[in-house]
Amino acid sequence: MKYSLLCLALFLISASHAQSQAIGSCNSANVLSAKLLTDICWDCLFPIKIAGASITGREQREDIPAGAVSSPGCACRQKADLPRVGYTLGFWQPVRLVELVRTPGCMLSLNGTKTSIGRKQQLGTRGSQELGQGISFYHYHLYSFPLLQILGLFNRDLCFSNEFSSIDILYASEIDPSWNYPEIAQLVFPETQLFSNRASVATCSADTLANLGQRTSNGLFWCAGTWGTLYPLSGFEVSVGSGARITSLLATRALASSHRRGFEPQTMGKESLCRLQPSFKFVPEQYRFSMLYPMPQNSKHPIGKSPFLWGEASGAEDAVYVIWRWRDCCSSLFLK
């Protein structure tokens, strides 16, 4: 009996040690490799609208945002020259990478580079004795990812103004108190009190039904469909469902908080044809996600769509997502 208890104790100690090592480790998503080309969903560029007409099939046309420009022609004012006349061009483009990690300072997208930002006390989890078995916490890192511009697939001057030209780190949650403390998030984003009450949460059921299809509701921007509620904009979430649901929701919160800080532009609609302006309002319909790690996804999905419909990843609990953004721009008839 004593021998059995001793074996059990040794097993529990070793299991606990292995778990702590797994949570504290930093894997590599191998983004900066051939996977940059092979694991990207190139079909996700479609549908494309040229002069108001879609050049893809009916199923892909359903993936065009309702707020996209439908007019064929456009004109943009210039400071000294005559107005630039052209045709409208609308398409999906990969613009951001967002990674969700439990180890502070772990850069999955930089081939597993471990940085000194964050502390050991900031370790994330899918449930622990400190947070409770039903609570998850992840850090996030937001990267610029202008893949089309890097490869030179579209005219840089006309459709990529005010955009980044290389892969770079834009934000890290380890240095953001509002991500680590929900109480601070309520102060930084005062609308939290309005959208985190029971009445607002109850309205998210309509957004959940809408996400059974391919549409996203801009009117209920505080909802994330089947993934959960957007507020508070912090790294804590109830550990219900799969890791794909939790990391997708936290990735959406990261994107929404970037909008609220004025770091993201509005790229959809007539106002965005000629130039991009910072947008403090989060427009879910403007975005699509596709998983890059741990399991590359061969399609993109709207915010809030159930992971059961686009694939459940197994194995690693950390994740990397490609953020696709709809871009309406005015392409000149006379290229310089």
pLDDT score of 169: 95
Contact partners, residue 52, CB within 8 Å, separation at least 6: 69, 70, 71, 72, 88
Report pTM: 0.87
Q: Are 290 and 301 in contact (CB under 8 A)?
A: yes
Q: Does 209 map to a domain?
A: yes
Q: Does 12 map to a domain?
A: no
Q: Are 230 and 256 in contact (CB under 8 A)?
A: yes
pLDDT score of 95: 95
Contact partners, residue 255, CB within 8 Å, separation at least 6: 96, 98, 142, 264, 282, 287, 323
Q: Does 21 map to a domain?
A: no
CA dihedral 96, 99, 104, 109 (to 10 degrees): -80
pLDDT score of 3: 39
Question: In sequence order, what are the beta bridge partners of 302?
Answer: 288
Q: Does 255 map to a domain?
A: yes
pLDDT score of 58: 61
pLDDT score of 126: 53
Q: Does 205 map to a domain?
A: yes
Give residue 37's domain range.
31-332
Per DSSP, helices labelled H in 25-68 are 35-38, 58-61
Q: Does 13 map to a domain?
A: no
86: Cα within 13 Å, side-chain hemisphere: 22
Q: Does 188 map to a domain?
A: yes
**Integer Cα distance of 2 and 25 in angstroms:** 34
Task: Provide the 3-class DSSP secondary structure of residue 286.
Answer: helix
pLDDT score of 17: 36
Q: Are 298 and 292 in contact (CB under 8 A)?
A: no
CA distances 21 to 15, 25, 98, 115, 281, Å, are 10, 6, 23, 17, 40
pLDDT score of 103: 92
Cβ count within 10 A of residue 29: 25
pLDDT score of 41: 94
Q: How far apart are the first and last CA of the chain?
A: 85
Q: What's the total number of domains in the chain?
A: 1
| Per-position pLDDT tens, the chain of length 336 | 443 433 333 333 333 333 433 557 899 999 988 888 899 999 999 999 999 998 876 667 778 998 999 999 999 887 777 788 899 999 999 999 999 999 999 999 999 999 888 665 455 555 444 455 688 999 999 999 999 888 877 655 567 655 788 899 999 999 999 999 999 999 999 999 999 888 888 888 877 776 665 566 667 889 998 999 999 999 999 988 889 999 999 999 999 999 999 999 999 999 999 888 899 999 999 999 999 999 999 999 999 999 988 877 655 689 999 999 999 999 887 755
Q: Does 77 map to a domain?
A: yes
